[in-house]
Structure 1
């Protein structure tokens, strides 16, 4: 059975910067038997990053749409697993107000990190929290999931204006902010599932030492620096916009 101490040691072995910025995509089931369950995983990550900025995606794209247009920062469950769901309910966290691609942040400058995402009509606008990951040169940590779950790559495609990735039409969504204010957020959506093809570049990124491997409990881990990934993928996508099509 894994404890907080053993999981903290796993994080240390990956040489993750505890004073930097880390975004975590995680599959709890992949980690194995953990003392006190997924709450221990969340507490481990928060403790490790106590002097830095810890971010979790808390997406609602599967449930918030034109037929069900209301997103509430404080009430709407996420659709991507138990760990981000616990994070969004955790005291001390700040959740962004993007209706489909929100994040929850803890620690250094967390409140400012998530501010204003309700102003953007695309999932990963360059000025949103997803773009701030690039500004912060964040580490993207994939615990028990693959590159096909790396939302940051959606961001790269969006910033490079890869054709066929976003709808032209906008859904009329509404975000209810933490203070109860309602904001109209006309929103474009992703088209299809290009993320299933993100693993096409995995071997290349491993060879270039941009993508790293580790372990967290039983879970295999992939992790990378946001800026290094952007610099690596930009010329590939400019040369071949259909790389992930």
Structure 2
């Protein structure tokens, strides 16, 4: 069993700073046995990043749709894992109002970061919470999950206007506000078809080009990514091939390993 002190030391070993802005994608099962279980994991993360901005995705795309149009950020559960749902219940945590791709955050900058997330009409707009990861020079901590769970890649594809990623028409959701009123929040949705599964092809390029490093948290294999570096590399690749993620063909090795050109 890992203690909270051991988990904290693993964060230190990753090179993460307490003042960082960090988005966490996570699998509690992968972390294994830890002191105080899932609540203990949140204790460690919230204490370690108390001087920064800690963010969890609290997406609801799985259940929100034509048959469920009213999003209540206070009660609607996240469809992306145990830790995200427990995080929503913690004191001081606030949630954005996006009906399918909300995030929750705690920290001094959380109010500004979470604002206006529901006003842009797409899942991961450049000026929504995922675009702000670039502006805030955020770190992405993927605990026990891979690039197929990295919503930031969806974001960059959206900003680059990659075709066939969004539905032809928006869904006209409503969002329940803290005062009980409801406001309209129409948004396009990601098309179905397993696009995210193809994002795993970026694992080796991200590592090779220094956009992310590998680490451990508990028993989980982790990746620690730099949002700015990830974005810059993805933009470069999509400018070369806008359809890079249309299939499972690997990224050309010559794009990220210069030495292989010589061999």
CA distance in 2, matches of 1:239, 1:93: 40
1:62: how far off? 0.2
1:216 corresponds to: 217
1:179/1:3 Cα in 2 relative to 1: closer, same or farther (>3 Å)? Answer: farther
Partner of 1:196: 197
Which of structures 1 and 2 has the bigger CA Rg?
2
> Aligned-pair distance for 1:201?
1.7
Alignment of 1:76-225 (within 5 A): 76-192=76-192, 193-225=194-226
Q: 1: distance between equivalents of 2:52 and 2:46?
A: 9
Q: What is the deviation of 1:174?
A: 0.9
TM-score, length-normalised on structure 1?
Answer: 0.98
CA–CA distance in structure 2, aligned partners of residues 223 and 20 of structure 1: 12
- Structure 2 length as normaliser, TM-score? 0.91
Stretches of structure 2 lacking an aligned partner (at least 5 in a row) = 247-263
For the residues of structure 1 that align with 2:174 and 2:154, how far apart are their CA atoms? Answer: 23
| Runs of 4+ deviating beyond 6 Å | none
2:42 alignment partner in structure 1: 42
User: Are 1:2 and 2:25 matched, yes or no?
Assistant: no
RMSD of aligned alpha carbons? 0.9
CA distance in 2, matches of 1:53, 1:59: 18
User: Structure 1: 5+ residue runs without aligned partners?
Assistant: none
Measured after TM superposition, the shift of residue 29 of structure 1 is 0.2
Q: Does the 8 Å contact 1:98/1:120 carry over to 2?
A: no
Asked if the contact 1:118/1:183 (under 8 Å) is kept, the reply is: no
2:245 counterpart SS class: coil
Q: CA deviation at 1:59?
A: 0.3
Partner SS state of residue 227, structure 1: helix
CA distance, structure 1, for counterparts of residue 239 and residue 163 of structure 2: 11
Q: CA deviation at 1:89?
A: 1.2
**Deviation of the 1:175 alpha carbon:** 1.0
Q: 1:215 Cα shift? A: 0.3
Maintained 8 Å contact 1:113/1:129: yes
**Which SS does the other structure have where 1:141 is aligned?**
strand
CA drift at 1:177: 2.0
The residue that corresponds to 1:24 in the other structure is 24
Contact 1:143 1:221 survives alignment (8 Å) = yes
